């Protein structure tokens, strides 16, 4: 669980309301909304303080999506109906596993109904919603604003971005809603959220953009718009619109300590969603790019330790064998600073850039290595769901007497064959084993633990305790404020920066 989730519960509503039934388990609630096709001018819409012109134009394109879930896909026991691949699966379990909605209907049929929101994108019936609204549905039905009910088929869905497209066959052209430009949104701009909270009917709420670029640690596309317009279970898939009446986001998630709206909601930006939706409409699915690295942020201490001018980029903690990254020559300890000519400022940047690329594409990639930029070429691979760009968490008994490294506060020993076996490490693994950590020294504050294996110091591999001690001492003599250690703990590798003691 992330630090955010340790403080708050995130309800994966994300516009979805859960209805519990005794045999069928539970059902989702959410809605969709859209905008009229006729051109409108909302430049002076706030002159009289009313959003009525926007609502009258957009409401006809708001739809309700009803799905039928088989009993095995329902979740009376609190298990997420979104599926294990959903970016909001953990949040759903956290919330609904402890508190569930009242029972409004009894259905002993072994099935459950779920309601969600969305909006009509084209006059011939393409509709946008969240993936978790239609995930694992056996049937999908759309109810238009005028009450017309039509069967829908799934065109395509992408769990990583939590977006989906469904299609209906209307007997007349539909009212639609156009995409807006989310990249122009600023904190403080007014917005409207439209959806069907709790299944009570189409509802409009108003607020402002509270923040941009929120990261909920749910996947490579985390770049949410935070809003204070109330959204609740049932709003998932509904549109977030600006004062020009166009979609600037898709309502997706809330923070909630009690299950209700507390004015902290999240929407997928339209600029991101528009690209994904276009691919789903064309191909029905998306193949996300993959390079095969574990990455973590570049902190100020890391930048200082490796001589980087500023703390930016994505630090490569591990490169998986046989992956595109390994074939391109990327090494553990490299800092990726650019991909395809675009600057990489954070691990999230790199994850999103790679996910947006198609398998087979060749891209130039720049890494910071040994105090200089190095240009590489990488061929993007296909992400089959088993790997990707993973954001690493920052974070024994030896045969001979350990060697003290008083500057950071660890006791090191050589890595023996027996130790490799007991720690579950590969036979050829070399390094220095952490035998003890002084609780009053920097290494303890950095999270080092007995049993950790130090594989490199300041991007230089170390094969023994003596080599590790020497490398740390040299870093201190060079005037570094901290030392960068590559640490193996069980089957995970991560970089840890340890500042030198003062005095």
pLDDT digits (tens, 9 = 90+) for 408-466: 888 888 877 777 777 777 777 788 888 878 777 788 888 888 888 999 988 888 988 88
Averaged pLDDT for residues 386-406: 37
> What is the model's pLDDT at position 366?
96
Is 236 among the catalytic positions? yes
Task: Select 403-499's CATH number: 1.10.40.30, 2.30.42.10, 3.50.50.60, 3.40.50.2300.
Answer: 2.30.42.10
Which residue among the candidates 158, 162, 178, 356 is catalytic per the annotation? Answer: 162
Q: List C-alpha distances in Å: 260 to 3, 9, 282, 371.
A: 21, 11, 37, 51
Averaged pLDDT for residues 477-487: 83
Q: List C-alpha distances in Å: 375 to 218, 236, 329, 364.
A: 31, 43, 10, 7
- 284-302 pLDDT, tens per residue? 988 888 898 888 899 998 9
Same fold yes or no, 1-36+53-285 and 289-391:
no
Is the separation of the CB atoms in 114 and 133 below 8 Å?
A: yes
Averaged pLDDT for residues 469-481: 80
Averaged pLDDT for residues 28-42: 36
What is the architecture, at CATH level 2, of domain 289-391? Roll (2.30)
pLDDT classification of 105: cutoffs 50, 70, 90? very low
Is the separation of the CB atoms in 113 and 27 below 8 Å?
A: yes
Residue predicted with more confidence, 72 or 313:
313
pLDDT classification of 10: cutoffs 50, 70, 90? very low
- 239-253 pLDDT, tens per residue? 999 999 999 999 988
Is 321 among the catalytic positions? no
pLDDT classification of 501: cutoffs 50, 70, 90? low
Q: List C-alpha distances in Å: 296 to 68, 351, 384, 486.
A: 41, 11, 22, 12
> What is the model's pLDDT at position 499?
86
Residue 87, pLDDT > 90, answer no
Which residue among the candidates 26, 210, 236, 398 is catalytic per the annotation? Answer: 236
- Mean residue pLDDT across the chain: 77
Q: What is the DSSP string of 146-162?
A: TS-EEEEEEEEEETTTT
- 256-270 pLDDT, tens per residue? 766 667 788 899 999
99-113, 166-180, 296-310, 402-416, range with greatest mean pLDDT: 166-180
Domain ranges (residues) in the chain: 1-36+53-285, 289-391, 403-499
Residue 333, pLDDT > 70, answer yes
Residue 25, pLDDT > 80, answer no
DSSP state of 323: S
> What is the model's pLDDT at position 406?
39
> What is the model's pLDDT at position 469?
85
Distance (Å, whole) CA 275 – CA 7:
33
DSSP state of 183: G
pLDDT classification of 479: cutoffs 50, 70, 90? confident
Averaged pLDDT for residues 127-146: 92
Is the separation of the CB atoms in 95 and 53 below 8 Å?
A: no
> What is the model's pLDDT at position 38?
37
- 182-217 pLDDT, tens per residue? 999 999 999 999 998 888 889 999 999 999 887 766
Which residue among the candidates 86, 94, 117, 132 is catalytic per the annotation? Answer: 132
Q: Is the pTM of this model over 0.85?
A: no
Is 80 among the catalytic positions? no
1-36+53-285 CATH: 2.40.10.120
Percent of the chain at pLDDT exceeding 90? 37
């Amino acid at each position: 669980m992330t630090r955010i989730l340790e403080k708050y519960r995130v309800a994966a509503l994300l516009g979805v309301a859960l209805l519990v039934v005794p045999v069928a388990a539970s059902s989702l609630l959410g809605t969709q909304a859209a905008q009229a096709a006729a051109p409108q001018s909302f430049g002076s819409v706030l002159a009289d303080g009313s959003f009525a012109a926007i609502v009258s134009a957009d409401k006809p394109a708001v739809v309700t999506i009803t799905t039928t879930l088989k009993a095995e896909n329902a979740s009376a026991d609190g298990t997420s109906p979104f599926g294990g691949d959903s970016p909001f699966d953990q949040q759903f379990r956290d919330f609904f596993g402890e508190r569930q909605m009242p029972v409004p209907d009894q259905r002993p049929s072994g099935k459950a109904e779920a309601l969600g929101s969305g909006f009509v994108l084209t006059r011939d019936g393409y509709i946008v919603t969240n993936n978790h609204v239609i995930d694992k549905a056996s049937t999908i039905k759309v109810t238009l604003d005028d009450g017309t009910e039509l069967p829908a088929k799934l065109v395509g869905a992408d769990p990583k971005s939590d977006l989906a497209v469904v299609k209906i066959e209307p007997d007349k052209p539909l009212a639609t809603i156009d995409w807006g430009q989310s990249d122009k949104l600023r904190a403080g701009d007014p917005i409207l959220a439209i959806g069907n909270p709790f299944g009570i009917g189409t509802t409009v709420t108003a607020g402002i953009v509270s923040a941009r670029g929120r990261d909920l640690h749910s996947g490579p596309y985390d770049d949410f718009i935070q809003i204070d317009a109330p959204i609740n279970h049932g709003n998932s898939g509904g549109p977030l619109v600006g004062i020009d009446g166009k979609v600037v986001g898709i309502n997706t998630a809330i923070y909630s300590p009690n299950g209700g709206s507390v004015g902290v909601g999240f929407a997928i930006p339209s600029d991101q969603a528009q690209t994904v939706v276009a691919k789903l409409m064309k191909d029905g699915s998306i193949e996300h790019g993959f390079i095969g690295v574990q990455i973590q942020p570049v902190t100020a201490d890391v930048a200082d330790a490796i001589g980087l001018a500023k703390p930016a980029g994505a630090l490569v903690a591990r490169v998986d064998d046989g992956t595109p990254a390994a074939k391109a020559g990327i090494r553990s300890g490299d800092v990726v600073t650019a991909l395809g000519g675009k600057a990489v400022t954070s691990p999230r940047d790199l994850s999103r850039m790679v996910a947006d690329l198609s398998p087979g594409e060749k891209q130039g990639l720049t890494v910071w290595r040994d105090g200089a930029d190095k240009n590489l070429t990488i061929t993007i691979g296909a992400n089959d769901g088993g790997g990707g760009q993973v954001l690493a968490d920052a974070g024994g008994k030896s045969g001979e007497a350990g060697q003290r490294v008083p500057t950071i506060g660890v006791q090191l020993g050589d890595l023996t064959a027996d130790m490799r076996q007991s720690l579950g490490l590969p036979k050829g693994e070399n390094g220095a084993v952490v035998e003890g950590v002084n609780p009053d020294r920097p290494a303890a504050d950095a999270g080092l633990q007995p049993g950790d294996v130090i594989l490199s110091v300041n991007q230089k591999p170390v094969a023994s305790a003596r080599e590790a001690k020497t490398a740390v001492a040299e870093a201190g003599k060079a005037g570094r404020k901290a030392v960068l250690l590559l640490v193996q703990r069980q089957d995970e590798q991560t970089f840890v920066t340890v500042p030198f003691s003062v005095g």
